[in-house]
Amino acid sequence: MNKPEQYILDEWENIVANAKRELNDNNPLMQDFVIVEMNKYLKQLEKPMELEKITADLIAEHKKAKTQLYQLQGRIKNLLEKSKKITQPAEQPKPTHNNHPAVWDLVLSDMAARDKLGQARYGTRLQPHNGRDTLKDAYEEALDLAVYLRAAIFERDGK
C-alpha cells in the first residue's frame, strides 16, 4: 500500500476511534455509517486509476466524510442528551416523618397473613415446583392488580 492510501486508512482509524470514544457506547448506526464509508474508500482503492487522481479524490471524499461523521456524531450526542432528560424521572421531595405505621411493617404483616391463609386453604405453603404454573398465576394476579388500580383511579378522579 502506498503512502497516500495508508494516510487515508490511518485517518479513518482515528475518526472511528474518536467517534467511539466520544459516544462511549457501541452505536450500531455509527458503525453502519463508518462501514459504508470505509467500503466506498476501499472500492476506490481497488480501481485502476492514476495515483494522483486516486489521492485527490480520496482526500476530497475523506474530508467530506469526516465532516459528515462529525456532524452525525454531534447529532447523536444531542439525541443522547435529550433522551437522558426524557427518561430521568422528576425528583420528589424527601418523605416526612408522621404518626402512621411504617408501610414495610404493614406489608410484612399482610404477607404473613396471606401465607397462613394459603396454608389453611390449600393445605401447604407456597413452594416452587408445586405442580402449578407460577408465572401464569403471577400474571393473572398482576391483571387483577391493574383492574383494582384502574378502579381506584376512577373512584378518586371520577374518570
Mean pLDDT throughout 41-69? Answer: 72
Q: Parse the chain into domains and list their residue ranges.
A: 3-87, 103-157
> pTM (2 decimals)?
0.39
**What per-residue confidence (pLDDT) applies to 71?**
86
Q: Which residue has the cell 466524510?
A: 65
The better pLDDT of the pair 29, 148 is held by: 148
- Tens digit of pLDDT for each residue in 96-125? 999 999 999 999 999 999 999 999 999 999
